[in-house]
Chains A and B, each alone.
Chain A
């Protein structure tokens, strides 16, 4: 009989490297080195209501920050909110690919203990004067709305012609990337409006924040899509996008691009624990290459009420509502400073009970060539759970001198070899380097000889 016992869990989180925010594009006022290589966007969608939250990891001088995002409707002041980046980080951690660790028991004692260690972590003041309005009008640009929310000055523009809009934005000091005019023109003809935001320096300074908070926009529209075309214009090379969706029904999928699941459930060598971020990045890149960068990778799809194993607690209902899950009634409050229960295998959201929300985490690496069209999305009824999960199995390192131990050690050799091959296949890493690292990390391919030659006191202190 195999008995499973959970002893410890360790959580290591890593921030998404190189995340620069927003699926729109930055337009610089100065010649600052601006680019957006990665974005984190959360879309909550039910019926025809969408709430889009855009994480802002802008690293440059805030006075240089400006974005233009096509939106399907005019957005009034009350439809815009400045959100809390901690909630986004929490969602990122909760949905992140995870590493699970098991320990083999003494082969002479046929009880298997299990320890889960999880390494969560991803690989990862506008001119509002009459003069501005007049000049806008002359160029066929209408300032539909103009307001300040939090540290952002926001304009909602509609336009008749893309050249007028481009000219006006340039006049106002926005540095438009090459090729923007054509793409803007396409959006204008599709009756899209433009959400233009920049930082109000006075408000930013008085807010006391040292970073830019996420922008949230709520609107009603049949259009459920993520505009990525503008974002490809000023990016250097390929871009990464992490798209999280919250729905009442189920998984969200693109309708004009194929979705593939990220490889999951594989046993991988122990040394990966120290370089999980590198491993995930390499595996992601390897898969992107395999699919010719033409698919959307699914990293997580789960009912928000629970997780197993948990990379982080499920988000409380109150936080989900803040991210746009408006259908959740009577949101519980999240007690500040609540200790995180790390010992449980399955963690229910604070306050308990189901939250009626399904989360999908999609990761896309794209450029204008492989993803020429905006990502059109649909909510499906698929509630099958999926997570990126990788397993490390620690061999038994103690003394074992029974009959069963012999077959255990010979099995172990095959297991290590398989792990090495799996890792090479997943990441494209060189297998001899993998083997060398495994040897150095205690996964000797001749583990029996090594254990036998190690004095018992060294094994004890190890």
Chain B
């Protein structure tokens, strides 16, 4: 405990847990469609237990449970279903993808993102994401916190968040200019809380993004373009999640051609 306290700024995951935790707290007290506490508890329990079981089964000697917490928090903030038992199932699926789908000692998918996409794909009549649940007031504070997170972790892999947001906003802006729309429309679209959670806590997952900086830029660009096409040409409301899922499959290829050191979470 003391070690964590002393090293609170040493690992970007601590920022993630604190920020996502604050967001969930805000959602719980302020949003009319927030997850209930049992949903939060079930999701947390399921991700932690799944990680524990995989550690045990794979004989991994670790007491690191930050990743399941981050995954559970992300799921609570984004994932919705009308079947209460699906929350722990999705939590377990999320953690399972981390251990089961791996190439070269790296997992391919961000656990929460993979679980959302698999849920949307396999149980489409019971699963949804509410990108509209975030207002613009919360957006500003969230953007500031996330920006601080990037600055403080400039040595990490958070550059991909900025790459992605830059590409995404450029596409939105280009679309507005082409359509002759007022700039208030792309600005309004940019103020989506779900988009920021995605940009700062999903696509930025250092374990699932390419090791090479140039490859990361390419990765972010591809995600933005796929998401843009899915959203505006195919009316897919969960476009960014699908786009990341598909692009992640290409990470091993990018890593193969553009070599760089693999990311290591700083040790406590």
Contact = CB atoms under 8 A, between A and B. Distances in A.
Contact of B135 (A224, A254, A295): A295
Interface stretch (A136-144, A375-383, A439-447): A375-383
Given A223-B235, A224-B235, A256-B188, A381 B135 contact: no
A381 to B, nearest CB: 4
A260 B33 CA distance: 8
A461 B130 CA distance: 56
A258 B135 contact: yes
Interface in B24-38: 32-33
Q: Which DSSP category, helix, strand, loop or mixed, fits chain A's interface?
A: loop
B189 interface: yes
A182 interface: yes
Given A223-B235, A383-B82, A256 B189 contact: yes
Contact of B130 (A255, A369, A383): A255
Contacts of B235: 222-224
A373 B189 contact: yes
Interface in A381-395: 381-383
Interface residues on A, range: 20 to 34
B132 A294 contact: no
A289 interface: no
A381 B126 contact: yes
B22 to A, nearest CB: 18
Nearest to B127: A381
Interface residues on B, range: 20 to 34
A231 B180 CA distance: 18
B125 A249 contact: yes
Interface in A337-374: 369, 372-373
Contacts of A259: 32-33, 132-133
B179 A185 contact: yes
A383 B80 CA distance: 12
B136 interface: yes
B128 interface: yes
B55 interface: no
A189 B182 contact: no
B10 to A, nearest CB: 36
Contact of B136 (A182, A294, A369, A378): A294
B133 A380 contact: no
B38 to A, nearest CB: 14
B132 A253 contact: yes
Nearest to A296: B132
B132 A381 contact: no
Contacts of A256: 131-132, 188-189, 192
A190 B128 CA distance: 26
A250 interface: yes
B171 to A, nearest CB: 15
Contacts of A322: none
A189 B132 CA distance: 25
- Residue picked from B127, B184, B234, B235, most chain A C-beta under 10 Å: B235
A376 B237 contact: yes
Contacts of B125: 249, 381
Interface string B158-200: 0000000000000000000011111011001100100000000
Interface string B209-244: 000000000000000000000000011010000000
A295 B138 CA distance: 13
Nearest to A181: B180
A437 interface: no
B134 interface: yes
Nearest to B133: A258
B84 to A, nearest CB: 12
B81 interface: yes
A113 interface: no
B178 A189 contact: yes
Interface in A177-196: 182, 185-186, 189-190
- Residue picked from A186, A224, A298, most chain B C-beta under 10 Å: A186
B79 to A, nearest CB: 12
B127 A372 contact: no
A261 interface: yes
Contact of A298 (B32, B81, B192): B32
Contacts of B134: 258
B237 A378 contact: yes
A257 interface: yes
A186 B180 contact: yes
Given A259-B33, A373-B188, 18 more contacts: A189-B180, A222-B235, A224-B235, A253-B130, A255-B130, A258-B132, A258-B133, A259-B32, A291-B135, A295-B135, A298-B32, A378-B237, A381-B80, A381-B82, A381-B128, A382-B80, A382-B82, A382-B128
Lowest 7 A-B CB distances belong to which pairs? A372-B184, A381-B82, A222-B235, A186-B179, A261-B32, A380-B128, A258-B135
Interface of B: 32-33, 80-82, 125-128, 130-136, 178-182, 184-185, 188-189, 192, 234-235, 237
Interface of A: 162, 182, 185-186, 189-190, 222-224, 249-250, 253-261, 291, 294-295, 298, 369, 372-373, 376, 378, 380-383
